[in-house]
């Protein structure tokens, strides 16, 4: 066998080794563009609440971890195609997503809120300070009606494939002129430029942007939770199928649930959440 052949075989062999599905490293996918949940620093390193939490959880699981970046709109397809084993990307646990993937127990919760630029006529909108869509009732119905009226004729911007887009498309606030963006950064940019009259996202995404950019972004209307907004943020994991690979996915779900329990009990989640959000968003 000549050297040429040897080289080819060893290169091919290394490719197979790298893509080995039985690899003991847990690969975690995150977006890196949704501060303070997950983002990147100036040097391109992944940072944020979930990045720090992921390292903590991995320590409790006792396995090596690798955090990889993935565009938000391809997050679940990439998980299904085994580009990584778990999602930690500010992804809320919703019934819609549970049809396709599993979630660990929630580790943090976020409320959603509308945001406008200072001086918008939406600033005076009169609603309760928070509504929970799962509870419903007359007060919630009335608030949704008020919001429907306020959003009529406005361009409402959201990040694509999010709970916020689901809510606007659900018909709960009538038929809304929704514009979708690939990242939350782009939503913020167009809110500031005036292309969007109003935007909907996690309230912390707006306060974080206002703080860093100095732009006069104001939160308006109630904080939303429940219903289309899901039940907190958890680790997304493939549904365990048959065979060794399926067993590994099922084991991973157990491992993450165990690690979240430990991290919660030891106060790790609260501590990391307070560090990144400025308040305790843990659950």
Partner 1 sequence: MDLELMINSFPRLLNATVVTLKLLSLSLFFGLFIGLLFAVMRMSNNLILNRFAYGYSYLFRGTPLLVQIFIIYFGFGQIEFIRNSILWVILKEPYWCAIIAFALNTGAYTSEILRSAFQTIKKGYIEAGKSLGISSKIIFYKIQIPIAIRQSLPAYGNEIILMLKGTSLASTVTLMDLTGVAKYIISTTFKPIEVFIVAGSIYLFMTFAIHNFIKFLEKKYSY
Closest to partner 1 by CB, 99 vs 265, is 99
**Nearest Cα to Cα of residue 28 among 113, 91, 106, 73:** 91
Tokens for 142, please give them. Answer: 């009335």
| Residue span binding partner 1 (CB under 8 A) among the ranges 122-130, 158-166, 239-247, 273-281 | 158-166
| Residue span binding partner 1 (CB under 8 A) among the ranges 107-115, 123-131, 173-181, 199-207 | 173-181
The helix (run of H) or strand (run of E) holding residue 16 is helix 3-18
Closest to partner 1 by CB, 128 vs 194, is 194
CA–CA gap between residue 150 and residue 228 (Å, rounded): 20
Closest to partner 1 by CB, 30 vs 188, is 188
| Residue span binding partner 1 (CB under 8 A) among the ranges 14-22, 29-37, 185-193, 251-259 | 185-193
| Residue span binding partner 1 (CB under 8 A) among the ranges 87-95, 102-110, 175-183, 221-229 | 175-183
As measured in angstroms, the least distance from the Cβ of 119 to partner 1 is 14
CA–CA gap between residue 249 and residue 118 (Å, rounded): 47
Per CB under 8 A, contacts with partner 1 among 66-85 are 73-74, 76-77, 80
Exposure pattern of 62-86 as b/e (b: 16+ CB <10 Å)?
eeebebeebebbebbeebeeeebbb
Q: What is the DSSP letter of 84?
A: -
Out of 49, 181, 229, 276, the only residue in the binding site for partner 1 (CB under 8 A) is 181
Q: Give yes or no for residue 194 binding partner 1 (CB under 8 A).
A: yes
Q: What is the DSSP letter of 81?
A: T
Out of 40, 59, 63, 182, the only residue in the binding site for partner 1 (CB under 8 A) is 182
List the x/- string, 100-129, binding to partner 1 by CB under 8 A. x-----------------------------
Sign of dihedral through CA atoms 132, 133, 137, 140?
A: positive
Q: Give yes or no for residue 177 binding partner 1 (CB under 8 A).
A: no
For helices 203-213 and 184-193, give the axis angle rounded to 10 degrees: 60
CA 155 vs CA 161, 207, 265: distances in Å:
17, 21, 44
DSSP string, 195-235: S-SEEEEEHHHHHHHHHHH---EEEEEEEEESGGG-S-B--
Residues paired with 220 in a beta bridge:
114
Q: What is the DSSP letter of 192?
A: H
- Site size toward partner 1, by CB under 8 A: 22
**Nearest Cα to Cα of residue 191 among 160, 219, 149:** 219
Out of 13, 68, 82, 96, the only residue in the binding site for partner 1 (CB under 8 A) is 96
Q: Give yes or no for residue 171 binding partner 1 (CB under 8 A).
A: no
Q: Give yes or no for residue 98 binding partner 1 (CB under 8 A).
A: no
As measured in angstroms, the least distance from the Cβ of 29 to partner 1 is 14
Q: Give yes or no for residue 262 binding partner 1 (CB under 8 A).
A: no
> Collapsing DSSP states into helix, strand and coil, what is residue 2?
coil
As measured in angstroms, the least distance from the Cβ of 196 to partner 1 is 10
> By the criterion CB under 8 A, which residues form the site for partner 1?
73-74, 76-77, 80, 96, 100, 157, 160-161, 165, 179-182, 186, 189-190, 192-195
């Amino acid at each position: 066998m000549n050297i040429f052949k040897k080289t080819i075989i060893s290169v091919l062999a290394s490719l197979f080794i790298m893509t080995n599905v039985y690899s003991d490293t847990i690969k975690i996918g995150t977006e890196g563009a949704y501060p303070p949940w997950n983002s990147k620093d100036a040097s391109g390193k992944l940072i944020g609440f979930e990045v720090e939490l992921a390292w903590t959880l991995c320590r409790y699981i006792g396995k090596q971890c690798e955090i990889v970046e993935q565009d938000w709109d391809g997050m679940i397809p990439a998980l299904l195609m085994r580009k990584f084993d778990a999602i930690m990307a500010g992804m809320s646990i919703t019934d819609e997503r549970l049809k396709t993937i599993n979630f660990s127990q929630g580790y943090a919760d976020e409320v959603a809120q509308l945001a406008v630029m200072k001086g918008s006529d939406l600033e005076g909108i009169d609603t309760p300070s928070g509504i929970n869509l799962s509870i419903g009732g007359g007060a919630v119905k009335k608030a949704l009606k008020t919001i429907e009226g306020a959003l009529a004729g406005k361009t409402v911007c959201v990040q694509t494939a999010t709970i916020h887009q689901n809510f606007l498309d659900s018909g709960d606030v009538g038929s809304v002129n929704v514009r979708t963006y690939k990242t939350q950064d782009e939503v913020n940019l167009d809110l500031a430029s005036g292309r969007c009259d109003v935007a909907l996202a996690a309230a912390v995404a707006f306060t974080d942007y206002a703080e860093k950019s100095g732009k006069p972004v104001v939160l308006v209307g109630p904080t939303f939770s429940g219903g289309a907004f899901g039940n907190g943020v958890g680790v997304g994991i493939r549904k365990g199928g048959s065979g060794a690979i399926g067993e590994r996915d099922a084991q991973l779900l157990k491992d993450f649930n165990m690690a979240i329990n430990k991290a919660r009990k030891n106060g790790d989640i609260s501590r990391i959440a307070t560090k990144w959000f400025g308040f305790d968003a843990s659950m």
